[in-house]
Amino acid sequence: VNLQATLDDIAGEIVPHLGVGKVADYIPALAQVDPHKFGIAVTTVEGESLLAGAADERFSIQSISKVFTLTMAAEFVGQDLWQRVGREPSGSAFNSIVQLEYEHGIPRNPFINAGAVVITDIIASHCPAGGVKGAQGTKTAIVDFLRQRADDAAIDFDLEVARSEKAWGYRNAALANLMKAFGNIVNDVDDVLDIYFHQCAIEMTCRQLSRAMLYFANDGTDPLTGQLVVSAERARRINSIMLTCGHYDASGDFAVRVGLPGKSGVGGGIVAIVPQRLAVAVWSPALNEQGNSHAGTLALEKFAARTGYSIF
């Protein structure tokens, strides 16, 4: 497979589809992004990186942060994690509150907002970074984890996006408070939300994200540094959750069209992995109705079809 030619072809074919859909506007700072942007990057387990389009432009990773925080939380508490969050697709929108009441404050999975907030709460209980406790230490620990995974110390928060999310975060605040009432948030609700908004507001490029995801394609070990990030078993489990729950209410659709474990975010980014081979990241800000990048999903569908790299 000529990966560079594949990416170049996709970047050309995708042009008529750019701007179809809507940028996320419930976070005002995200509404200002140009909906016609497109970038795609592949990093192979051999360390080769291939790029097309705006692959070096930073964007808000949003919910893609949730695969990394899930990794961190699983390392802290292991199997106990599943006492506090489920692992079933929700069948509802990513920010839905209805199931939480019926299901006694236990979110369906770690990738819907409620589940991700619980994961953030777990991290907040376990990682005072550099001896700094509380929200600041936890935010630092999360961004440091991403810098290590991407091997790039320049990765940082977009503080404007974090502020914007906080200012308009009524729904996430409702989810967090409801879970606190059920006893499923341990730390101070405002601190947990502050950390959550910041992790979503981390800015990265397609190139950095494809590099950062590589451990999921290599049984939990970073193939370029040899560092064990998570056990092979845990990496396999997180990949399964990406496949079944990684794309909100369109996870089934993504599995059918692309057939790779992946995670999307409302900033328009999507990451996916091809086991034993590579990680791919794509970005285009205009979203379909379920909150996934329209052109990004299409690009990954083309990528899987062209390369034959589906896990099925």
Cα angle for residues 174, 179, 181 (degrees, 5° grid):
95
Query: Chain-centre distance of CA 201, in angstroms?
Result: 11
Q: Which is nearer to ligand GLU, 27 or 278 (CB)?
A: 27
Distance CA 89, CA 227 (A): 31
Shortest gap between Cβ of 198 and ligand GLU (angstroms)? 10
Tokens of 256: 């059918």
Per rule CB under 6 A, is residue 303 in the interface with ligand GLU? no
131: left (phi over 0), alpha (psi -120 to 50) or beta: left
93: left (phi over 0), alpha (psi -120 to 50) or beta: beta
Per rule CB under 6 A, is residue 203 in the interface with ligand GLU? no
Give SS3 for 169.
coil
Q: Which is nearer to ligand GLU, 20 or 93 (CB)?
A: 93
Shortest gap between Cβ of 197 and ligand GLU (angstroms)? 7
Tokens of 110: 């770690």
Size of the site for ligand GLU (CB under 6 A): 11
Per rule CB under 6 A, is residue 172 in the interface with ligand GLU? yes
Q: Which is nearer to ligand GLU, 94 or 145 (CB)?
A: 94
Q: Which is nearer to ligand GLU, 161 or 280 (CB)?
A: 161
Strands across the sheet with 262-264, in order?
49-53, 39-44, 278-283, 269-274, 262-264
Shortest gap between Cβ of 172 and ligand GLU (angstroms)? 5
State which of positions 239-268 bind ligand GLU (CB under 6 A): 265-266
Binding marks (x or -) toward ligand GLU, 87..116, rule CB under 6 A? Answer: -------xx-----------------x---
